[in-house]
Structure 1
Amino acid sequence: MAVHYCDICRRTSFSGRRHLYSAGHRRRLREALAELQEAVAAARAAAGGEAAAALRPYDPAEHGRRVWCLVCGRGVQRDGRSGGMALLQAGLLRHLAGPDHRRETARFWREQRAEAALRERVLVSAEEYERFARGLERALEEHRRQEEERIQQMAAGIREAERRQRETVRDALQVGEPGPARQNRDASRDAEQPNPSGTQTGPDINWMESGQALTFIGHQEMEGKGNVHTGAKPPWLTEEEEEGSVREIGPSYEEFLKQKEKQKLKKLPAERVGANFDHTCQTGESWLPSFGRVWNHGRRWQSRHQFRTESGEKKKNR
């Protein structure tokens, strides 16, 4: 018995190649070709429209997608790219009009016994693709020309803003100068203007190299008081001299040690013995835990007698 594996149905048929004529294979083949025909129809619609509408700013997430070509058995880049612009459907149209796709289509139709009427729906003629490519090239040239004009306009706007800034700085410097100096500057500027023959009589002064500040509004001084810009002492030094005492800034050394000790205690376990002990409670000398106290030799319970003996000696001495 002949065995045949069908890529469309994804199963093995024991009826051999007669499986290609079965109703189930025909139905699955039409469904698989419908997806490819839908992608081809979208590409042809883009080719039949205006080429300028096929240009978009390139977005990797949107224009990096692929279309599965059933007859070739591989993914095809849907959109093309030229610089920073995406060419919609350009990659798929180039593949559909190529000789490899046409050859694989003939093989696929022969092997799968597909309907001949559906064959032209997954192909794009070379003339159709050439017409689309020429229109796309003209749209790209127009886009480049518009971008160059936009860049030139931006450059002209920047130059105009710089010119206005230079005039503003020059006018501000003239306001801050005394009368004779201003007259000398005006005279030097008149001497540097080009003569009617087109030659310049003096060097051009560049405001960036003049060494002056951008804007000078004069010295700002308060009545009866100075500031750090005029050489006066800062207010915090003046207050110390008037008061005659130095105020301590920040915590004291004892507070620092206490805070450091608290930081060490925070690292210890919260459930340790004695962590919640109340150190403010008042206890007398007769108080003693039932388990005794800290000992260095002997048995632990003997520490109670030792403590009582020492307490009695202390009372006698008193």
Structure 2
Amino acid sequence: MAVPYCALCRRSAFTGRRHRYSAGHRRRLREALARLQEAAAAARAAAAVPDGAAAVRRYDPAEHEGRVWCPCCGRGVRRDGRRGGLALLHAGLLRHLAGPEHRRETARFWRENRAEAALRERCLVPAEEYERFAQALEQALAEHQRREEERIRQMAADIREAERRQRETVQAALQLQPEPEVCAGPSVCRLPTGPERHSPCSAEQPGPSGMQTGPDLAWMEPGKVLTFIGHQETEGKGNVHTGAKPPWLTEEEGGIKQIGPSYEEFLKHKEKQKLKKLPAERVGANFDHTSQTSDSWLPSFGRVWNHGRRWQSRHQFRTESGEKKEKR
């Protein structure tokens, strides 16, 4: 004999048929049916919309991939349907609740679990109601497709209108551009006024300082005449643009001038950088190296010694200093 198993309680019922009437089983039955009835009521409310326009949305996997657990069939049912890139709200659950398979499984579930007969119709959807929902959904899909096509045509018209305006603007700019005039010569060239200011004659003309004169001279009064007197260059002088030698390669009078610090100054600077890394409060850090001291100077405690008494180091220092003086 097979061991009975309760899918709602998820355990084997060894008490036989009496398990269906236990308090725990009845409580789990009510909770499962309440969740299914809530989802079915929301789906039937969406099906009651006349035009079904609210049931069409743009498909989003994170939002429209949810499932509803059907305790009668013992499996999860997709809540929303899908057609292309559109999501049909509650279409999957309504199709399941109106199907013949769900109706048969609901009858079996009610018979096995001794559920209340008045609650059975709340978990079912009549076929006529689902047919009305399907027709309204088809109309909503057709209307949505018509709006999308109209939006695409409007976008295409806007793009064509923008291109047409751009072409007209370019043509108007080309028509306003004057024809190039031949300049009589550099000696006499008047600065044009008005729209002829950017003509080739006045665009690039060399001035007295070697710079170009063009639209930058718009501040001058009209009618003035600019006369080109040639490039002003002095012998032996110039700049790098005229081919002269740069100043750092020219030799000055009195020898070559040294650029930058000397090697001795660099060594001193390097030594100072090393001293900066030492502790600031170390012994001898603030010693005045510029002070003048004689060879006879000796601290009262004597000099550094390796053997003997400490006071003997003074006699050793005086002996050595006397020998140095004799050698000198």
Query: What is the TM-score of this pair, normalised by structure 1?
Result: 0.59
Paired with 1:108 and 1:94, the residues of 2 have a C-alpha distance of 19
Distance 1:179 1:227, change over 3 A: closer
The residue correspondences of 1:151-162 to structure 2 (distance < 5 A) are 151-162=152-163
What letter is aligned with 2:44?
Answer: R
For 2:47 and 2:159, how far apart are their aligned partners in 1? Answer: 40
- Structure 1 residue identity aligned to 2:108: R
CA distance in 1, matches of 2:77, 2:320: 103
Using the TM superposition, give the Cα deviation of residue 165 of structure 1 relative to its aligned residue in structure 2, in angstroms.
Answer: 0.8
Superposed, 1:262-301 pairs within 5 Å as 276-278=278-280, 282=287
**Counterpart in the other structure of 2:128:** 127
Q: Deviations over 1:85-130 (max 9, x none)?
A: 2211011112212233223222222221222222221122333222
Once the two structures are superposed, residues 263-284 of structure 1 have per-residue CA deviations (whole angstroms, 9 ceiling, x without a partner) of xx9xxxxxxxx97545966599
Match of 2:166 in 1: 165
**Counterpart Cα distance in 1 of 2:65 and 2:204:** 66
Gaps of 5+ in 1: 181-216, 231-236, 247-251, 266-273, 287-291, 293-300, 303-308
User: In the aligned structure 2, how far is the partner of 1:315 from the partner of 1:80?
Assistant: 114
Residue 4 of structure 1 contacts residue 17 of structure 1 at CA under 8 Å; is this kept in 2? Answer: no
Q: How many residues align?
A: 239
**Shift of residue 4, structure 1, vs aligned partner:** 4.8
- Normalized per residue, the structure richer in helix is 1
CA distance in 2, matches of 1:134, 1:112: 36
Question: Which entry has the higher C-alpha Rg, 1 or 2?
Answer: 2
- 1:226 and 2:227 aligned: no
SS in 1 for 2:104: helix
Q: CA deviation at 1:243?
A: 12
The one-letter code of the counterpart of 2:31 is E
Deviation at 1:45, TM superposition (A): 0.8
**Aligned residue in 2 for 1:75:** 76
**Does the 8 Å contact 2:204/2:214 carry over to 1?**
no
Counterpart of 2:42 in structure 1 is 42
Report the Cα offset of residue 172 of structure 1.
0.5
Q: Residues of 2 paired with 1:228 and 1:314: CA distance?
A: 85
What letter matches 1:148 in structure 2?
A: E
Aligned pair in 2 of structure 1 residues 218, 106: CA closer, same or farther (>3 Å)? farther
In the alignment, residue 168 of structure 1 is paired with which amino acid?
Answer: T
Provide closer, same or farther for how the CA distance between residues 281 and 21 of structure 1 changes in structure 2, counting only shifts above 3 A: same
Instruction: Give the match for residue 229 of structure 2.
Output: none
Structure 1 residue 69 displacement after superposition: 1.3
Name the CA distance, whole Å, in 1 between partners of 2:4 and 2:109.
16
CA distance in 1 between counterparts of 2:153 and 2:6 reads 62
Matching residue's letter, 2:27:
R
Matched residue type, 1:98: G
- How far off is 1:177 after superposition? 3.2
Map 1:173-252; keep pairs closer than 5 Å.
173-178=174-179, 218=198, 225-226=211-212, 245=247
Give, in whole Å, the separation in 1 of the partners of 2:13 and 2:144: 56
- TM-score computed with the length of structure 2 as normaliser: 0.57
Change (3 A) 1:316 1:169: farther
Measured in 1, the distance between the counterparts of 2:92 and 2:61 equals 14
Structure 2 letter corresponding to 1:28: R
